[in-house]
Amino acid sequence: MGITINAEKKIFTLETAHSAYQMQVDDRGFLRHLYYGSRVNGSDMSYMHIDYDRSFSANPNCAYPVRGYSLDVIPQEYTGCGLCDFRISSIGVINPDGSFAAEFHYDSFEVRKGKYTIPGQPAVFENGEEAETLVIMLSDPATGLSLELLYGVFPEKDVITRAARIINRTAGTVMITKAGSMSLDFSYGDFDLLSFHGRHAMERVMERTPIVHNVTSIRSRRGQSSHQHNPFVIICEKGANEDYGNCYGFMLVYSGNFRAETEKDQFDSTRIVMGIEPESFRWKLEQGEAFDTPEVILSFSAHGFTELSHQYHRIIRHNICRSKYNFARRPVLLNSWEGSYFSFDDQSLLKMAAGAKELGVELFVLDDGWFGVRNDDNSGLGDWFVNEAKIRCGLPKLVDDINAMGLKFGIWIEPEMVNEDSDLYRAHPDWALNIPGRGPCRGRNQLVLNMSKPEVRDYVFDSISKVLKSANIEYVKWDVNRNVADVYNEQFPVDRQGEIAHRHILGIYDLLERFTGTFPDILFEGCSGGGGRFDAAMMYYYPQIWCSDDTDAIPRIAIQHGTSFGYPVSTIGAHVSASPNHQTGRITPVNTRAVVAMHGTFGYELDPAKLTEEEKKEIRSQILYFKEHYDVIQNGLYYRLTNIGEQYFEAWEQVSEDRSEALLSVVITVTQPNARLIHIKMKGLDPEVDYRMDVRTDIDEKVFTIPDFPGGSQLKEFLQKEGRVYSGAALMNGGITLPWLMGNYLAMQLSFRKV
């Protein structure tokens, strides 16, 4: 496994435990993509590709007079632009002479031990295992523009990473107008595209569409990876499902504007290009300067989506997340937001914290409203000093009092934003993004601080650091509550304004690096109005991200289902909130809300004083149950057992890596009369051992007395039979049948432990 070179045939093969990726320098110096899929025992896969004279497919000058060679049809590793390939391009350039062309020929290669890094950007890193880097150097013989293709190989993780470095070795200035991180051509196959779309409070809903004879773009132009589209897509063969079929994943490690493009061409070849969104992007390269693209994480599964998801979950947990809390047990928290919003003072906070402690919560989080003059969302952002009209005792005393209860303390910040009604904006209006001669775009009545300016980053770091050092703060929720517009930096010349959006993102990375490096003992959680910046790049700095502002358990199932295709449970911030739900008005049992929130980091977002004694008792039980099953929930393998909306219930399963424990969760999403029984085949168990099953639910015993509920006796009998034993083979091949559940949005959890 790893990188092998056939020098005679100029073939480069990258092998992981179960996949092979192969390319070749052809006799005209172009780097062809040959193969990506299951391992082929080192075979030369060039036999699959035959060149033909295709009408209206132009021939590069170096091929003259051969008419059967065209870049418009051959599979390439990274395309040029403006010449003989009329499909989507990997790169866009304006050369010193004003031309828009680039054509890259092979120069050399280098194999390095270890994984490459990308200056100023997050990327997959080594974590004790062996990794290798292949660098292939290409250049345009007409201009001297150089290109380095970077490949990182993690054999045991079944992951290959890709990035590109564009270097100006021309005789003048080059303008980069498109900078793809990677391109990949599939010469054969009929594929579907899985993408994850949404909106605020309904993010990452999986959508499957055929790749047709057209260009399909999945993208964000919102200055962040966005609620609307996620920078992760899957290409799969027709008929692929959770357990069957070839699947290819592409995850961009980037938090700003992005684009993933697919195209099926005239001869049914499929191309995908992924990288920074080229609209409004320009990067000026003077002689000798280089531009580094973000990274893409590639992974292949021959056995469906579940295996592909597990591969992404492992690489993110082990080789993206760096926090000390990545594998440490994180505290169960209560966030004050939906319990009090902006209406609180120190005494009400102490009362809420005391109520949280009584429930078994371990961390109390003070959300928005504690700083500046902040009584609503129209003022105060940017003024990072404590509002002592609300917190009259001072933050250090408040934290000490909450710590004395036996609770940790956390706080909410929104460092990237500013209100016009703030001391900061009045002193430095030029620190907000704004285009000269135009009034600003506002979102939530706030503006975006220009993180491409070092002085802005210095202020944010210094002012918030003073707060974090003033008290025993052990958790920080970092929020971003609007999209980015008005992108401009007057400190840069006109011909470099196209760089500012990317420089803004690099500035955010710089700021996050400073915070997480200075405060390594703080648990940072990311947020962007919920899931508006839920991407692998952010996970480099935060081990968890608030998954969505929608805390309604029922739509949350679909949100978390889609999220799980690429991202592990341990990164998904999920809370039990009040009922009726504050976003939808839906009423759901407190048990159901907890079952859904246990597909995540787990916590609460409500006022304990408004709970009934019965609800308090149930929540204490939930927290104990979560702690008991923490390892299998947070560290286990995750299985999607149902497809969203195809039945009246949803089910998912978490299984420990050693297969000694499993947790099966089932939620009724549509109540039906005389419903068919729930029958589920479990996954991931050891077929050779037996498992003891225990059931947890809060089904109201009154349903057993309803005359028209014929399943009542069966349900009662099922719930009373604790400790039943089944073989792993029976549970996976035969399955488990649950009795009919009567009531609104009921849920059940079944734990299985190896006997």
Could you give the residue numbers annotated as active site? 535, 615
Whether the bond between 568 and the residue before it is cis, its omega within 30 degrees of 0, is: no
At residue 413, φ and ψ (nearest 5 deg) are -140, 160
Instruction: Could you list the beta-strand ranges (E) of 211-330.
Output: 215-220, 232-237, 247-253, 258-264, 270-276, 283-285, 290-292, 295-301
Which residue bears the tokens 């179960």?
18
Paired strand residues for 577: 605
**Residue 649: partners with Cβ closer than 8 Å, 6 or more residues away:** 642, 666, 667, 668, 669, 670, 678
Contacts of 615 (CB under 8 A, 6+ apart): 590
211-216: long-range contacts, CB 8 A cutoff, minimum separation 24? 211/235, 211/262, 211/263, 211/264, 211/270, 212/264, 213/264, 213/265, 213/266, 214/263, 214/264, 215/88, 215/261, 215/262, 215/263, 216/261, 216/262, 216/263
Based on the number of CB atoms within 10 Å of its own CB, is 215 exposed (0-12), middle (13-18) or buried (19 or more)? middle
Burial class (CB in 10 A: 0-12, 13-18, 19+), 341: middle
* Rounded-to-integer distance, Cα 40 and Cα 187, Å: 17
Note whether 638 and 316 are within 8 A (CB).
Answer: no
Other CB atoms within a 10 A radius of the CB of residue 28 amount to 15
Backbone angles phi, psi at 690, to 5 degrees: -100, 150
- Own/partner pairs for 702-711, CB < 8 Å, 24+ apart? 703/742, 703/743, 706/742, 709/742, 711/739, 711/740, 711/742
Closest CA to 418 of 366, 480, 338, 465: 480
d(CA 405, CA 394): 17
DSSP 628-658: HTHHHHHHSEEEE-S-TTSSSEEEEEEE-TT
Class of residue 388 by CB neighbours under 10 A (exposed 0-12, middle 13-18, buried 19+): exposed
Residue type, 188: Y
CB atoms within 10 A of CB 435: 14
Q: What is the dihedral of CA 112, 115, 121, 127, to 10 degrees?
A: -160
The residue count for the chain: 755
**CA within 13 Å, CB half, 394:** 6
With contact defined as beta carbons under 8 Å apart, do 633 and 377 qualify? no
- How far is 178 from 157, CA to CA, in rounded Å? 30
